[in-house]
Amino acid sequence: MPEFSVLELKNITKSYFGNTVLKGINLSVKPGEIHAIVGENGAGKSTLMNLIFGMPVIHDTGGFEGDIIMDGQVVKINSPRQAMELGIGMVHQEFMLIPGFTVMENIKLNREPTKPNLVSKILGSNMETLDYAAMRQDSIRALEKLGLEIDENAYVSRLPVGYMQFVEIAREIDKKRARVIVFDEPTAVLAESEANHLITAMKRLAEQGISILFITHRLDEVMACSDTISILRDGELVKTLTREETSVEEIAELMVGRKVERGQLPSRSVEPDDDDIILELKDLTVEMPGERVRGLDLKVRRGEILGIGGLAGQGKVGIANGVMGLYPATGEVIKDGEALKLNDPKAALDAKMAFVSEDRRGVGLLLDESIAVNIVLTSIEAQNKFLRRTILPGVHLLDQKAVREYALKIIKDLDIRCTGPNQPVRRLSGGNQQKVCLARAFSLEPEILWVSEPTRGIDIGAKQLVLDLLVHFNREYGMTIIMTSSELNELRRICDRIALVYRGKVAGILKPDASDLDFGLMISGKQPVKEVG
């Protein structure tokens, strides 16, 4: 690898209103290098990236100290446009694609090649016609660099989510002289298998000499692809390491600054038993797009934490959504010997089940409502709690005082970091939003709690807190918890048993301490060495 740097940061310091968020950062990126930047939320990663990309938020708040050096020369980056001209691209965390445009139109968005015509000679270059042939050529070239063959005329709205990311990347590398591309948590919205594709693509780009700044939470991915790893903590660059000389454990430790514990879980007075079944699913099918369940059978023991794992698209996410009546389901769901009415969310709630959705911001929360309202909403609707009678028969009013008191208690119990119960949940961090979701489910006092992807998109420290909370619910209140997650490690950390779903059916159930080999085999539908439960 060449010794000179394509991008170098020297002594970068940035503060927002006297609050220093970056302290003396030194960083250098070599050509064709994948440089991972890891750190908890609030460690300063986003600020650093905004700074490199010249986002207005940096300059609106007084700029920064220190130098950005490209090819040995100090450069000023005052706007995203300048960054682009210098060859810096950015792949955003949320898709910046226009769904009603084709792949090609998105790749060339606002950079379309044009041909002059009669009108444009009079009215200026804005009236030049688009050169579709050139657009197509450029798009195909960019997609080829990624090793991706998709129809450049396909509408983006009809692409699977995982591939939208590639269209974004194609757009970045199509930009002239793309030399450094910043990936801002690109895998946050992707399932494990899709993330693997992305990593392959990143490696391809690096081979072609494009440097990559890779921001992520997922340490496995860091280890899978990066050459160099920089760890940020509280605005400081703690350490820069090469991949060969480090390990996941070391990075995690440096990042969090406290030891990651995989401690013993508290024990129960009565351990779950195969003879005491709280819930049974028979021949369940769920028509959830992309996550179909096809004739699944599963028994859930009272008081256990049951994990549901599997690759994306195999149907693990569909189970909870089907049982809770959010997607059309058929088959039998038997709770405590009684058949549950399917396709009726109210019936599911009445059967003392609660659900924390994987789509936290879409289904899980009313983002612009307060924490208090979000916590009690389902209880009000489904169980008529927090209401007081009025003189008029049938007219109930919200008992504001009870809501507030309850919210305050929950905020304290679950340690939700906020300014108070009236703060809109939109402004909370991912981890705290998830706690609000859990609090809402908890206030229904369910016997069975379904939790889907509880740690998606939240940082490591908060992940542990959420998992601890689930264990707490389970041990203290005897709640049966059924947890769906793409991350096997967290399932193995807190579950009693883990059911692996393959092609819409349970491939098998494993103990959390089963070998990696067994998990690996079963997740891809092959018969494991031994089976339990």
Partner 1 sequence: MNEPKIAPQTLSEKTVKLKEGKNLELILGELSVPLFFTALCLLGIIAAGLNPRFLVNEIITRLARNSFLVLSLIIPVIAGLGLNFGIVIGAMSGQAALIIITHLEIGGLPGFFLAALISVPFSLIAGYLTGLVLNRAKGREMVTGYILGFFANGVYQLIFLVLVGTLIPMSNPKMMLSSGIGLRNTMDLIAVNKALDNALLSSLRLGPFKIPWATFLAIGLLCLFTAYFTKTKLGQQMRAVGQDMHIAAVSGINVDRIRLIAIMISTVLGAWGQLIYLQNIGTFNTYNSHEQVGMFSIAAILIGGASISKATIWNALIGVLLFHTLFVVSPLAGQRILGIPQVGEYFRSFLAYGVIAVALALHAWQTKKKAASRDKE
When asked if residue 397 is in the footprint of partner 1 (CB under 8 A), the reply is no
For the beta carbon of residue 100, count every other beta carbon within 10 angstroms. Answer: 10
Closest contact distance (angstroms) between CB of 167 and partner 1 is 11
CB 46 within 8 A of CB 429: no
Q: Contacting partner 1 (CB under 8 A), which of 75, 134, 140, 150? A: 150
Quote the tokens at residue 90: 């950015």
In angstroms, the CA 356 to CA 360 distance is 8
Nearer to partner 1, 72 or 289 (CB): 289
Nearest to 344 by CA among 328, 360, 359: 328
Compute the least distance from the CB of residue 195 to partner 1, in Å.
12
Q: Which of 532, 72, 478, 78 is nearest to 274 (CA)?
A: 532
Query: According to CB under 8 A, which one of 289, 337, 393, 394 is a site residue for partner 1?
Result: 289
CB of 182 to partner 1, least distance (A): 14
If we measure between CA atoms, which residue out of 422, 408, 342, 350 comes closest to residue 381? 350
Given 19, 73, 125, 384, the residue binding partner 1 (CB under 8 A): 125
Give residue 494's Cα distance to chain centre. Answer: 20
Question: How many chain residues are in contact with partner 1, going by CB under 8 A?
Answer: 42
CA atoms 202, 203, 208, 213: torsion sign: positive
Q: Out of 57, 74, 76, 98, which residue is the one contacting partner 1 (CB under 8 A)?
A: 98
**Sequence letter at residue 164:** M
Q: Which amino acid is located at 224 in the chain?
A: A
Please compute, for residue 40, the number of CA atoms within 13 A of its CA located in the half-sphere on the CB side. 20
- Distance separating alpha carbons of residues 346 and 292, to the nearest angstrom: 22
Binding partner 1 (rule: CB under 8 A), the pick from 57, 74, 109, 260 is 109
Which of 149, 338, 476, 513 lies at the binding interface for partner 1 (CB under 8 A)? Answer: 149
Shortest CA distance to 303 belongs to which of 340, 275, 327? 275
Question: How far apart are CB 201 and partner 1 at their closest, in Å?
Answer: 7
- The least CB distance from residue 285 to partner 1, in Å, is 14
- d(CA 397, CA 388) in angstroms, rounded, equals 5
Specify the residue, 146 or 410, whose C-beta has the smaller distance to partner 1.
Answer: 146
Q: Is the dihedral of CA 474, 457, 431, 36 positive or negative?
A: positive
Q: Is 148 in the site for partner 1 (CB under 8 A)?
A: yes
Closest CA to 104 of 167, 149, 51, 46: 167
Of 15, 30, 128, 503, the one binding partner 1 (CB under 8 A) is 128
Q: Which stretch binds partner 1 (CB under 8 A): 158-166, 314-322, 329-337, 478-486?
A: 158-166
Q: Which stretch binds partner 1 (CB under 8 A): 123-131, 278-286, 403-411, 454-462?
A: 123-131
**Count of residues making up the chain:** 533
The distance of closest approach from Cβ of residue 422 to partner 1 in the complex, given in angstroms and rounded to an integer, is 26
Judged by beta carbon, residue 62 or residue 100, the one nearer partner 1 is 100
Does position 154 interact with partner 1 (CB under 8 A)? The reply is yes
Residue 529 half-sphere exposure, CB side, CA atoms within 13 Å? 8
Q: Which stretch binds partner 1 (CB under 8 A): 151-159, 358-366, 393-401, 408-416?
A: 151-159
When asked if residue 126 is in the footprint of partner 1 (CB under 8 A), the reply is yes
Which DSSP helix (H) or strand (E) runs through 103? helix 103-107
Minimum distance from CB of 364 to partner 1 (Å)?
A: 17
Of 105, 138, 453, 496, the residue at the interface with partner 1 (CB under 8 A) is 105
Stretch of 124-132, 250-258, 337-345, 385-393 lying at the interface with partner 1 (CB under 8 A): 124-132
The one segment of 35-43, 89-97, 448-456, 524-532 that binds partner 1 by CB under 8 A = 89-97
Reading the block at residue 103, the tokens are 């792949």
How far apart, in Å, are the Cα atoms of 251 and each of 55, 258, 322? 29, 11, 39
Rounded Cα gap, residues 165 and 170, in angstroms: 9
The span from the CA of 348 to the CA of 399, in Å, is 25
Residue 520 interacting with partner 1 (CB under 8 A): no
Q: Is 80 among the residues that bind partner 1 (CB under 8 A)?
A: yes
> Which one, of 190, 191, 172, lies nearest residue 182 by Cα?
172
| Cβ atoms of residues 442 and 375 within 8 Å | no
Q: Residue 105 or 185: which CB sits closer to partner 1?
A: 105
| Contact status: 201 vs partner 1 (CB under 8 A) | yes
CB 426 → partner 1: shortest distance, Å? 16
For residue 315, report the phi and psi dihedrals to the nearest 5 degrees. 115, 0
Residue 112 interacting with partner 1 (CB under 8 A): yes
Give whole-number Cα distances, 100 to 105, 321, 330, 356, in Å. 10, 28, 34, 31
Site string for partner 1, 177-196 (x = CB under 8 A): ----------------x--x
Q: Where does this chain touch partner 1 (CB under 8 A) — which range of 10-18, 91-99, 235-243, 379-387?
A: 91-99
| Position 97 contacts partner 1 (CB under 8 A) | yes
Nearer to partner 1, 151 or 297 (CB): 151
Among 152-160, 231-239, 270-278, 335-343, the segment contacting partner 1 (CB under 8 A): 152-160
Our finding on whether 161 is near partner 1 (CB under 8 A) is no
Closest to 213 measured CA to CA, from 233, 230, 196: 230
In the complex, the residues that contact partner 1 under the rule CB under 8 A are 80-81, 92, 96-101, 105, 109-110, 112, 114, 119-120, 125-130, 146-151, 153-155, 158-160, 163, 193, 196-197, 200-201, 287, 289
